Amino acid sequence: DRTLAVFTSGGDAQGMNAAVRAVVRVAIYLGCKVYFIKEGYQGMVDGGENIVEATWSSVSSIIHQGGTIIGSARCMDFKERQGRLKAAANLVEKEINNLVVIGGDGSLTGADLFRQEWSSLLEELVSNKTISQEQLDKHKNLKIVGLVGSIDNDFCGTDMTIGTDSALHRIIEAIDAIVSTAYSHQRTFIMEVMGRHCGYLALVAALTSEADYVFIPEIPPPDDWQTKLCKKLEQERTAGQRLNIIIVSEGAIDRNGKAITAEQVKKVIEDNLHQDTRITVLGHVQRGGCPSAFDRVLGSRMGAEAVLALMEAEDTAEPCVISLDGNQAVRLPLMECVKLTKEVAKAMAEKNWQRAVELRGKS
Ligand code: ADP
């Protein structure tokens, strides 16, 4: 059982390549056979050329590259049992019984489901004669370790997800650039940043750029935010500030759970303060570019730890996720972390902001 496969799934993130590289090299160092599964779960379902053996040199010169060299995808097929059945057959064919999945909470949820179904998938494959009873006996256990690759830092259980630090670098560079032009023309800029339902990128971007106001999903602003915002901006201008910066998280909401958009904020400022106001939506720039040193180290540490965790685990071990806890790499039960992450979303949907913040604090 020293054959493993690594794949990246869901939204890409800088630092995934460092993780892939570490998985491959530590695995080879420990005498394992290691495969790439290209294009995430889609490659696992489609098999064939998508599952190829990795070599020491196949991961040379990738640590500095953004994105993921083995491709990532969102895969509807894997959400259906039929797709997972095909994926199981492809893994058995290549004698793979260890998986390292690098992705967000969706990808990790899929991995957990796959692991739960593994025995029944293999039994079905025997009964429809895709695999033999001997193959089933040899592969009756599937071990899975997850690494969290996500620029949003939206996963409970880990202090930082792979890609967040690099995304912050992109955001800060962009805000610094905007600040210089805003200063010249005495403008107000509203920057929309990514994060889905997590305000981490927006909050840290605001702190590190001396922004005047920030909108994040976990702490919706008071109902009279329009008045408070205008008062704050006016105060800053009266005190001699030549520009204003406002950060809006893409998931920002008000206390009724309704979206607060950059357009809406712009209108409030223009109508009340008549300031020259512009919107910059950073978009996919945040996912792009080189990974920071932090993400290269994080990806490398997590990748190495993932292989060690697989090799040290009992055959029947439940899936775990490699997390960063106080700068230590730790192994946590995958499903508990996924559950906690979903609880944050639930707390926000129920407008229980305090609980959402508490749960986020735990991450
Ligand atoms: P992320 O991993 O970044 O959160 P997604 O939520 O899009 O991204 O998930 C990536 C892929 O993981 C999906 O396209 C799908 O193939 C698989 N996946 C997600 N959720 C499930 C699920 N509940 N069951 C099976 N597969 C899933």
Residue 245's beta-bridge partner residues?
Answer: 189
Q: Is the CB of 66 under 6 A from ligand 1?
A: no
Residue 238: other Cβ atoms inside 10 A: 8
Q: Is the CB of 114 under 6 A from ligand 1?
A: no
Give the pLDDT confidence score for residue 327 in this predicted structure.
92
Residue written as token pair 């889609």: 42
As a whole number of angstroms, the distance between CA 247 and CA 264 comes to: 13
As a whole number of angstroms, the distance between CA 191 and CA 249 comes to: 8
pLDDT tens, N- to C-terminus, the chain (363 residues) = 899 999 999 999 999 999 999 999 999 999 999 999 999 999 999 999 999 999 999 999 999 999 999 999 999 999 999 999 999 999 999 999 999 999 998 999 999 999 999 999 999 999 999 999 999 999 999 999 999 999 999 999 999 999 999 999 999 999 999 999 988 888 999 999 999 989 999 999 999 999 999 999 999 999 999 999 999 999 999 999 999 999 999 999 999 999 999 999 999 999 999 999 999 999 999 999 999 999 999 999 999 999 999 999 999 999 999 999 999 999 999 989 999 989 998 998 898 988 988 887 765
108 CA closest ligand 1 atom index: 2
Ligand 1: which of 78, 112, 147 to mutate, judged by most atoms within 8 Å of the beta carbon?
78
Q: How far is the CA of 321 from the centre of ligand 1 (A)?
A: 16
Reply yes or no on whether 165 is catalytic.
Answer: no
User: Order of strands, edge to edge, in the sheet holding 188-193?
Assistant: 213-215, 244-249, 188-193, 277-281
Give the pLDDT confidence score for residue 357 in this predicted structure.
86
Give the pLDDT confidence score for residue 225 in this predicted structure.
97
ipTM confidence score = 0.98
Supply the residue whose CA is at minimum distance from atom 26 of ligand 1.
110
Q: What are phi and psi of 30, to 5 degrees?
A: -85, 5
Give the pLDDT confidence score for residue 360 in this predicted structure.
79
As a whole number of angstroms, the distance between CA 218 and CA 344 comes to: 9
CB 189, CB 243: distance < 8 Å? yes
CB 319, CB 144: distance < 8 Å? yes
Q: Which amino acid is at 288?
A: G
CB 321, CB 306: distance < 8 Å? no
> What is the greatest pairwise CA distance in the chain?
79
As a whole number of angstroms, the distance between CA 359 and CA 363 comes to: 7
Q: Is the CB of 106 under 6 A from ligand 1?
A: yes
42 CA closest ligand 1 atom index: 16
Give the pLDDT confidence score for residue 1 in this predicted structure.
81
Q: Which is the catalytic residue, given 12, 112, 152, 154?
A: 152
